Amino acid sequence: MKHHLIPRVIAKLTIPGILLFALYVQFHGDYGPGGGFQAGVIFGAGFILYGLVFGLENLRKVAPPQIVTAFIAVGVLLYGGVGVVSQILGANYLDYDVLSAVDHDGQHLGILLVELGVGITVAAVMMTIFMTFAGRLR
């Protein structure tokens, strides 16, 4: 891809926008269309585009596989951890009401954190799948 100037420039221009749009879909998910799954895929797609244009080696420098794998686990732990916190606060598993003094705020906070967990795991899984398959061909 070294000599293909146009894809490199376009990728550099669009990747920040893709990542920003992913964050919008993530954090606006409880008001508008979107949520963790979609946001995670979009976020992962930004990194995959980088890997496609600038090569797997560079992608591995930006997103070391070990750390990406750890993020798969972090997302699940965040999701499950929210549930356990509500248990510690005296309610049932994943009952968000107790997370804040006002029920409505608690529900809001709970779904935000849970969706963030989903987003982190989905993005990390997308990147891991890409890196695994791309690494196979060598």
Partner 1 sequence: MIAQFPALQVVIPLLGAPLCIILRRGALPWLIALLVSWAALAMAATLLSQVADGEIISYALGGWLAPLGIEYRIDTLNAFMLLLVAGTSSAVLPFAYKSVAKEIPQDRHYLFYSGFLLMLTGLLGMAITGDAFNVFVFIEISSLSSYAMIAMGRDRRALSAAFTYLVMGTVGATFFLIGVGLIYAVTGTLNMADLAERLPPLYQSRTVLAAFAFISVGILLKLALFPLHLWLPNAYTYAPSVVTAFLAATATKVAIYLLLRFGYTVFGAEFVFNIVPASEVLLTLALAGVIIASFVAIFQSDVKRLLAYSSVAQIGYIILGISYANVTGLTASIVHIFNHAVTKGALFLVMGCVAYAAGACRLESFAGLGKRMPLTMAAFVIAGLSLIGVPLTAGFISKWYLVLGAMEKGWWPVAAVILATSLLAAVYVWRVVEIAYFRDAPADAPPLSDPPLALLVPTWVLTGACVYFGIETSLSLGFAEQAAIQLMGGG
x/- mask, partner 1, residues 87-106, rule CB under 8 A, reads x---xxxxxxx---------
> Which regions of the chain does DSSP assign to beta strands (E)?
none
Phi-psi region of 90 (alpha: psi -120 to 50; beta: other; left: phi over 0): left
Q: C-beta of 15: minimal distance to partner 1 in Å?
A: 27
Cβ atoms of residues 10 and 90 within 8 Å: no
Among 10, 20, 23, 70, interactor with partner 1 by CB under 8 A: 70
Cβ proximity to partner 1: between 37 and 95 the closer is 95
55: left (phi over 0), alpha (psi -120 to 50) or beta: left
Position among 9, 23, 84, 129 found at the interface with partner 1 (CB under 8 A): 84
d(Cα 24, Cα 30) in Å, to the nearest integer? Answer: 11
Distance CA 100, CA 90 (A): 13
Residue 55 binds partner 1 (CB under 8 A)? no
| Site stretch for partner 1 (CB under 8 A), options 9-17, 28-36, 86-94, 130-138 | 86-94
Residues of the shown chain interacting with partner 1 in the complex, contacts defined by CB under 8 A: 69-70, 72-74, 76-77, 80-81, 83-84, 87, 91-97
